[in-house]
Copies of this chain bind each other. A is one copy, B any other.
Amino acid sequence: MSLHNGRPYLAIPGPSVMPDRVLQAMHQPSPNIYYGELVDMMGDLVKDLRSVACLPDGHVAIYITNGHGTWEAALANTVAPGERVLVLATGTFGEWWANTARAMGINVDLLNFGLQDTIDPDRVADHLRADTAHEIKAVLMVHVDTATSIRNDVPAIRAAIDGVNHPALFMVDCVASMGCDRFEMQNWGADVAIAASQKGLMTPAGMGFVYFNDKAHEARKGLERVSPNWDWTPRAFPENFYRYFGGTPPTHHLFGLREALNMIVHEEGLENVWARHAKLAETIWAAVDAWGTGGEIACNIAPRHLRSHAVTTIRMQSPNATALRDWVSDKAGITLGISMGLADPGDPAWHGIFRIGHMGHVNAHMIMGVLGCIQAGMSALKIPYGDGALDAAAAVIAQA
């Protein structure tokens, strides 16, 4: 029998669950794009977008694109083909950003820290120290890699760069962390940061954001040419409304984003949003850790301080994760995330990995429901697990 006929629950690491209010805000006629509400709201929208990144003094360009597009946008404004960047990879998304750079004609130095560990600042410092000619134009890292669910230490890498006095721009991919995990762009010294709408920012996929400071903009000015679609200059410093978007604005997404930012910035408050994500992540870890005691299940990232608050990648010793995902979908109405990059889809090990997304519009009810049904699924599928997981999870919620 099936117990899935109710509100389906999407627990993948993006797109996340869209708030009803955001969907409602998007359900309206096409607006006047010359003047009126849409045009008037842009000033505050940009301000609120900056506040989500803790960037009081910098700039942000809005792109009609997805997260992958912002990788290209960030590089197109800062690094010319033939120049060199250093990519610090801790999962698929770091590797893909490197691939994007290569495909743009950029030379890539790749330091890969594996799939279960964080970036080693010393290796970064060593690598940069060796670049005495300062050929490396930018250091690229992913704050939270959605594949591995690692959460890297941004200030530590900033310190490593500063420690060797290297002038490279410091660029951080915050697609999976923005609005979920604490990220203080200005205080932490990132020069460029990228984000997208469909995760912590609770708006359907289709918008990407590139934040930058004056140092990064100097790099932009030094480039011979940036294509019109990617040039952040008119988007961040628009002469008129039309220039924000290099043409027709993404009208309905803007209405949705406006509502999402109302919820994050003006209602719950960013600090509270971060605290909620931290507590709900801890709830999930409490369950997984308990299941893993004598069981076969574990968080991909062992040290708690390196785990994302937005996504949790889970490993099982046996290749039962696909069966488990299918079970909770058929029986309980939950869609869990697949493995990405931790094993080849043809490899049995691929079937030992799944992910839980817990980003954006998530509350205790949703998370306890996911954990309860995962345990039911493991039980039904005879996957061994340790005792007390749900009690442990509830105990974390109880501390709220």
Cβ of A66 within 8 Å of any chain B Cβ, yes or no, is yes
The count of identical subunits is 4
Find A33's partner among B3, B15, B363 (CB 8 Å cutoff). Answer: B15
Task: Say yes or no: A12-B34 contact (C-beta < 8 A), given A206-B64, A365-B6, A376-B398.
Answer: yes
* Structural contact, A7 and B363, CB atoms closer than 8 A: yes
Cβ of A371 within 8 Å of any chain B Cβ, yes or no, is yes
With A and B bound together, what is the CA distance between A76 and B103 in angstroms?
13
Chain A, 218-251, contact with B by CB distance < 8 Å: what is the 0/1 string?
0000000111110100000000000001111111
* Structural contact, A247 and B333, CB atoms closer than 8 A: no
* Structural contact, A31 and B7, CB atoms closer than 8 A: no
Chain A, 99-127, contact with B by CB distance < 8 Å: what is the 0/1 string?
11001110000000000000000000000
- Interfacial chain B residues near A399, Cβ < 8 Å: 380
- Interfacial chain B residues near A387, Cβ < 8 Å: 391
Cβ of A394 within 8 Å of any chain B Cβ, yes or no, is yes
- Interfacial chain B residues near A103, Cβ < 8 Å: 225-228, 231
Cβ of A187 within 8 Å of any chain B Cβ, yes or no, is no
With A and B bound together, what is the CA distance between A2 and B15 in angstroms?
23
Interface residues of A in 58-94 (CB under 8 A from B): 64-69, 71-72, 76, 81
* Structural contact, A379 and B394, CB atoms closer than 8 A: yes
Cβ of A295 within 8 Å of any chain B Cβ, yes or no, is no
Chain A, 254-276, contact with B by CB distance < 8 Å: what is the 0/1 string?
00000000010000100011011
Task: Say yes or no: A368-B376 contact (C-beta < 8 A), given A15-B30, A26-B252, A332-B397.
Answer: yes
- Interfacial chain B residues near A217, Cβ < 8 Å: none
- Interfacial chain B residues near A268, Cβ < 8 Å: 2, 5
Q: What are 9 A-B interface contacts by the 8 Å CB criterion?
A: A1-B276, A6-B17, A12-B32, A68-B246, A366-B369, A368-B368, A376-B395, A379-B394, A380-B399
Besides the known contacts A64-B205, A369-B369, 20 further A-B residue pairs in the complex with CB atoms under 8 A apart: A1-B275, A2-B268, A4-B363, A7-B29, A12-B34, A64-B65, A66-B245, A68-B228, A68-B248, A100-B228, A198-B251, A204-B251, A204-B252, A364-B376, A375-B391, A376-B397, A376-B398, A377-B398, A390-B390, A391-B391
